[in-house]
Amino acid sequence: MTGVTTAVLGSGGWGTTFAAVLADAAPQAEIRLWGRSTETCREINQQRSNTKYLPELRLPTNIRATTDLAEAVGEAELVAVALPSQQARKILAPLRNQLAEGTVVVSLMKGIEVETGELMSTMLADTLGVPDHRVAVVSGPNLAGEIAAQQPTATVVAATTSATAHAVAEACATPYFRPYTNHDVVGVELGGAVKNVIALAVGIARGAGFGDNTTASIITRGLAETTRLGTAMGARAETFAGLAGMGDLVATCASPLSRNNALGYRIGQGMSLAEATRATGGTAEGVATCRSVVALARRYGIEMPISEAVTGVLHHGVPVSDMPHTLLSRPRKSEGD
């Protein structure tokens, strides 16, 4: 896809960063970046910056921002979507059956739709009217600020066909952004969605004053419960040991750049969800996703105690002080079970 028009929908931190990656990968291409804010789009076009989300980033000159959704995707051969997962369907609805024939759609989102329980790739195919084989997923340890600073990062591009996965990987490969390909779309997406819930649990524990032993226990057991759900849904277990599983989980749980981690920390310190959301700013996807994860786990008969505990604290009034005891008081069993 080198040299063709591509579009990124969503001018937040990750959308803007991925637009810069695409622009660096193909300096001769036009990268259209869609956003709802007229001021943000004007700043991107005139000053080559997006100071609200990435104050240190100087944007490449081949990025052009617009508030016109149809203009952004017109004739684009690749459309990457970096919208809040719970709002994406409504925003994208006007584009149903409007994309050019053969356009590849890329999900940069890490969430599960609450109303339907759908992963983002399925939601995109349904909403935009494109076949599954033209939908890809990018996931992994993708902290936007570090990638914007061109710190070396590896990621995973997952699609049901090799042609789609390799086309997207080629479009975003740069000296600092190294994509690997994978056919396990469910595993890659689920790892990216559930890690936000686990990061909330880590943040809550940290905010409540617990240390590294607790953090390591939550991360390790969080990966185990994610793998249980994933394999029940048809994913491959080895996917969760890779970049989109353990890699993304560690980055999100360890970094203060993670909104989910930061929001959880504030909850652990005693803030309400509303207070923590205001203080954190932006969308912490795990807040909604935890409910979807628990619903999926119940549908598949899978135990996910960490996800259940986070959902209880955020949405059902369970005191933070009860969460560690809930996790540790479960029946003893073999670690591999």
Catalytic residue annotation:
195
Burial class (CB in 10 A: 0-12, 13-18, 19+), 295: middle
DSSP element (H, E) containing 303: none
- Retrieve residue 4's tokens: 């063709």
* Structure tokens that stand for 237 in this block: 């277990």
Query: For residue 278, what are its two tokens?
Result: 């205001």
* Buried-exposed string 22-45: b where 16+ CB fall within 10 A, e elsewhere: bbbbbeebbbbbbbeeeebbebbe
CA 188 to chain centroid, in Å, comes to 10
Residue 136, phi then psi, degrees to nearest 5: -125, 165
Number of H helices, E strands in the chain: 15, 8
